[in-house]
Amino acid sequence: MQNYPIFVDLKEQACLMVGGGPVALRKIRLMLSAGANITVVAPELCSDLEDEFGEQIVHHARKFEDSDIAGYRLITAATSDPDVNRRVSELAQSADIPVNVVDQPELCSFITPSIVDRSPVLIAISTGGDAPVLARMLRTKLEAFIPASYGKLAATMGKYRDALKKAVSEERDRRLFWEKVVQGPIAELFFSGQSAEAEKMLHKKIDNSSDEQQTLGEVWLIGAGPGDPDLLTFRALRLMQQADVVLYDRLVSEPILNLTRRDADRIYVGKRRADHAVPQGEINQLLVDLAKQGKSVVRLKGGDPFIFGRGGEEIELLAESGVPFQIVPGITAASGCATYAGIPLTHRDHAQSCVFVTGHLKDGSVDLNWNMLATPNQTVIIYMGLVGLPHICQKLIEHGVSPTMPIALVEQGTTQRQKVYTGQLDNMPDLIADQTVSAPTLIIIGSVVNLRNKLAWFSPES
């Protein structure tokens, strides 16, 4: 993180503005709305500044002098004279007073973000000074996306905080209560402008809530996709941000985990091949127990939970135990890796079907329907097949597939560490023998692999 974000209380605080032009005006407008006492040092004020705020500021109509910085909480320089700006910055920094020189990040000890103001809700966006245009674009998007009445909703929630505290003693239960408010009919009433009606409903809801009502939690089994966080669904993201606890396994990438609620507990239940960090039965039971404690539990799985993900097993016990659950599909490795490798899984000239199989070894061999896999005009996708690869290639050749059939291995597909190895059935085992290909790797077999020569589009940075 380039900067540490904070919000500063400027109420009644003495702030100095050096400069009296239009840029200073913009900053002064914001600082005044945060309640600051502002002194401006500038030979003259632009007429807009004079007209709008002339009465609310103290103006020293002269050039900046070194002694001007004494006694201020915050200093801003917005003059067109680089020497003055630099001098203000130096003096302020040596006196340990936070200073901002507009549009000159190298002279700043703090920078000001782009903001979306729905007071008391305030959203600040920063690109650390690297790309202000991007920050402004994001701000425009958020402005459009966040209803103006958010501020009213937040203020009303503030008004009823104490009342809810009296009615509900557990902090977690209060959070659940507010989550329902902001995502339910009460918020919708606010957004549609019926704030009096909304407030009445909120009042009633608080009266009806009490500590005796022990709430049952819920489990959300979420497909996190193959690695690139951009491939999450909206629903996955929304639920991830409401989690109390997150259970995740090895395939869930760090950037994706970072999108779960900041203060959610994280429990690693990951598996490597044949090495189960937490046995499956225990994971199933843990999900039930946590939900019974009233928690919102996110079970994050790589790819799609229903494709080689044991999702079915995990929710079976939930269903039997009467715990509510939702399942969110994710982009499975086959689809993510093939797309990011530029290999269409079906193609009118190459493959009319595709099959997904697991190449997981049992007792040193892979037990698959080889005749079915050797069918022509088909793409075969093998999950968990890296260790069994030589065996798989040999079996397919034995069952009539051409030894020159194209094959691709996609390692860490869709991520910035993606690597794609291509070859043919009879040489792939040798090709990879001396390279360090590691899990997770997906195998794609079929003539569609050749299309990659034309269609590859994704080039990871590393």
Residues near ligand SAH, by CB under 6 A: 226-227, 251, 301-304, 307-309, 332-333, 337, 383-384, 410, 412-414, 439-442
Beta carbon of residue 360, minimum distance to ligand SAH (angstroms, whole number)? 8
Cα distances (angstroms) measured from residue 298 to each of 106, 134, 218, 222, 301: 43, 32, 9, 7, 9
311 versus 406: smaller Cβ distance to ligand SAH: 311
20 versus 227: smaller Cβ distance to ligand SAH: 227
Q: Is 220 helix (H, G, I), strand (E, B) or coil?
A: strand
Distance CA 156, CA 313 (A): 44
Nearest residue to ligand SAH, scored by beta-carbon proximity: 303
Beta carbon of residue 227, minimum distance to ligand SAH (angstroms, whole number)? 4
Is there a contact between 331 and 223 (Cβ–Cβ < 8 Å)? Answer: yes
Q: What single string gives the DSSP state of each residue in 1-61? A: --S-------TT-EEEEE--SHHHHHHHHHHHHTT-EEEEE-S---HHHHHHHTTTSEEE-
Residue tagged active-site, from 180, 271, 292, 419: 271
Annotated catalytic residue 117 = no
Is there a contact between 243 and 261 (Cβ–Cβ < 8 Å)? Answer: yes
Beta carbon of residue 144, minimum distance to ligand SAH (angstroms, whole number)? 34
Beta carbon of residue 348, minimum distance to ligand SAH (angstroms, whole number)? 26
91 versus 409: smaller Cβ distance to ligand SAH: 409
17 versus 410: smaller Cβ distance to ligand SAH: 410
220 versus 383: smaller Cβ distance to ligand SAH: 383
| Tokens 């022509």 -> residue | 376
Beta carbon of residue 358, minimum distance to ligand SAH (angstroms, whole number)? 7
Cα distances (angstroms) measured from residue 179 to each of 133, 182, 226, 270, 292: 33, 5, 29, 30, 18
79 versus 412: smaller Cβ distance to ligand SAH: 412
Is there a contact between 190 and 149 (Cβ–Cβ < 8 Å)? Answer: yes
Distance CA 210, CA 293 (A): 17
Residue tagged active-site, from 27, 249, 304, 395: 249
Is there a contact between 113 and 126 (Cβ–Cβ < 8 Å)? Answer: yes
Question: How is residue 101 written in tokens?
Answer: 């020189």
Beta carbon of residue 370, minimum distance to ligand SAH (angstroms, whole number)? 19
359 versus 406: smaller Cβ distance to ligand SAH: 359
15 versus 298: smaller Cβ distance to ligand SAH: 298
Whether the upstream peptide bond of residue 120 has omega within 30° of 0, thus cis, is: yes
Beta carbon of residue 452, minimum distance to ligand SAH (angstroms, whole number)? 15
Q: What is the DSSP letter of 225?
A: B
Residue 251, Cβ neighbours under 10 Å: how many?
20
Q: Is residue 289 classed exposed, middle or buried when 0-12, 13-18 and 19+ CB atoms within 10 A define those classes?
A: middle
Find the radius of gyration of the CA atoms of the chain.
30
Distance CA 93, CA 265 (A): 40
Given its phi and psi angles, is residue 284 left (phi above 0), alpha (psi -120 to 50 degrees) or beta?
Answer: alpha
* Backbone angles phi and psi of 161, in degrees to 5: -55, -50
Beta carbon of residue 429, minimum distance to ligand SAH (angstroms, whole number)? 17
Is there a contact between 386 and 430 (Cβ–Cβ < 8 Å)? Answer: no
Annotated catalytic residue 249 = yes
Residues marked as catalytic? 249, 271
